[in-house]
Copies of this chain bind each other. A is one copy, B any other.
Amino acid sequence: MKFSSKVEKCELSPMRKFHPYAVAAKAKGRSIYHLNIGQPDIATPQAYFDAVRSFDRPVLEYAPSGGIPELIAAVQKYYADLDIHYTADEILITTGGSEALQIAINCIIDDGDEIIIPEPFYPNYNTIVHTCGGKICPVPTKPEEGYHYATREKIVSRINERTRAILLTNPGNPTGTVLTAEEMRMLVDIAKEYDLFLIGDEAYREFVYGGEALQSFGSYDDAREHIIVVDTVSKRFSACGARVGCLLSHNKAFLDHAMKYCQCRLAVATLDQVAAAALYSVDGDYFAAVREEYKLRRDTVVRKLKEIPDVICECPKGAFYLMAALPVDDADKFQRWLLEEFEDNGETVMFAPGEPFYGTPGKGKNEIRIAYVLQQQKLERAMDLLALGIKAYNAR
């Protein structure tokens, strides 16, 4: 049987291949510290569950394709509080940020079209772009420079006649890089100058640790036709399982095309939308506490990493990830070895090897992504295990 050439080009999750080794390690009685996945351990606000429990309509009906009015109004108010103003019909509720990305890229990218994305990047961008028949044009970065990509020259030199969009994750996954206001301005100017879409994947907006004001590409009113913002409740409210996100844009033609996709899948889950709307009533103290917790975790991870000889790692400014280059030949082999051969007091550690985060073949081989989603004490131990592991691996 023949399959689509587009899906043939995609791969199963690169994280998945270590699953059998982790299962085998656990079967041998090993404990594993998981720094490999971005699932926060922060409790979901009670408002979500309260809203779900108060739902009392007898029929669980389809919601409108663009989202329920109360959730759209909640998102609208959240942005208005950041002095960013969208009308209700400029907000489309989606099944997570993932669907928002899928819809945006499917509307823009045709066979052979290119999209500029700084690397390392979120590996699911590969599947989304490849299934549209498009091509990712990666912007190279270096661990030594903290994975900094936002220079005019780096971006502009990658634009050609097939380029349709620039996709930026800000704050960044997997790097934790955060753009400055000047860099955002420069990137918006490039989008205007070259008539490109600028897609801001802003799932981690609240996770900035330098006291910065919350930022969004949605605030650039002089580029209203160019900017598409992808948002989600997943990380903001530790509600990944809700699968509620949204697309925001002032571009009417884009919104009309996006609505075709929204109508085609009928609606986003009704109950999750009702509950997600309630999440937006959470007050500022919630975010302050969560931010403080992640900041401490980041500081712990960076401090411990800097104590390991020959690790290259700049302190990330946001999200809850960091990339680091390790003094090992191959992070993939090292991970497998950590699961199969290594243990210290019956414990070992998992991270995400760096290569799948790159679009350029061969890059990221000695790099890893760490998701600092464990409590302080566990993080300390996990980083000690990493240090011991590197030493033992290189002494084989």
The chain A residues found within 8 Å of chain B, CB to CB, are 1-8, 10-13, 16, 39-44, 48-49, 52-53, 55, 58-63, 65, 95-96, 98-99, 102, 106-111, 113, 124, 127-128, 131-133, 164, 195, 197, 225-226, 238-243, 251, 253-254, 256-257, 259-261, 263-272
Residue on B with the closest CB to A131? B106
Pair A4/B270 contact, Cβ less than 8 Å: no
Given A127-B263, A260-B10, the answer on whether A243 and B5 have CB atoms closer than 8 Å is: no
Within 8 Å by CB of A124, from B99, B107, B263, lies: B263
Question: Would you call B95 and A241 a contact (CB within 8 A)?
Answer: no
Once bound together, how far apart are the Cα atoms of A5 and B270, in whole Å?
Answer: 32
Which residue of chain B is the closest to A48 with respect to CB atoms? B60
Which of B5, B49, B261 touches A110 (beta carbons < 8 Å)?
A: B5
Is A253 a contact partner of B195 (Cβ separation < 8 A)? Answer: no
Query: In the complex, how many angstroms separate the beta carbon of A88 from the nearest chain B beta carbon?
Result: 16
Enumerate chain B residues within 8 angstroms of A238, measured Cβ to Cβ. Answer: 59-60
Cα of A251 to Cα of B1 in the assembled complex, Å? 9
Q: Are the C-beta atoms of A109 and B44 separated by less than 8 Å?
A: no
Chain B, Cβ-Cβ closest to A269: B243
A241 to B173, CA, bound (A): 32
Decide: B243 and A267 in contact? CB cutoff 8 A: yes
Knowing that A44-B59, A60-B240 are A-B contacts, what are 4 other residue pairs whose CB atoms are under 8 Å apart, sorted by A's residue number? A2-B108, A11-B260, A16-B263, A127-B260
- Among B4, B109, B265, point to the contact of A108 (Cβ < 8 A): B4
Verify B63–A4 contact, CB threshold 8 A. no
Contact status A241-B254, CB under 8 Å? no
Contact B127 A60 (CB under 8 A): no
CA–CA, A48 to B56, complex, Å? 12
Task: Tell me, in angstroms, the Cα distance from A49 to B5 when the chains sit together.
Answer: 42
Alpha-carbon separation in the docked complex, A131 to B110 (Å): 10
Please, how many angstroms separate the alpha-carbon atoms of A44 and B58 in the complex? 6
Q: Is B265's CB under 8 angstroms from A95's CB?
A: yes
State which of B40, B95, B110 has its C-beta within 8 Å of the C-beta of A95: B95
> For residue A268, which residues in chain B have a CB less than 8 angstroms away from its CB?
243
Inter-subunit contact B60/A132 (CB<8 Å): no
Structural contact, A264 and B3, CB atoms closer than 8 A: no
Query: Given A265-B98, A266-B96, do A109 and B4 touch, yes or no (CB 8 Å)?
Result: yes
Q: Are B257 and A195 in contact (CB under 8 A)?
A: no
Of the residues B7, B11, B95, B226, contact of A107 by C-beta under 8 Å? B7
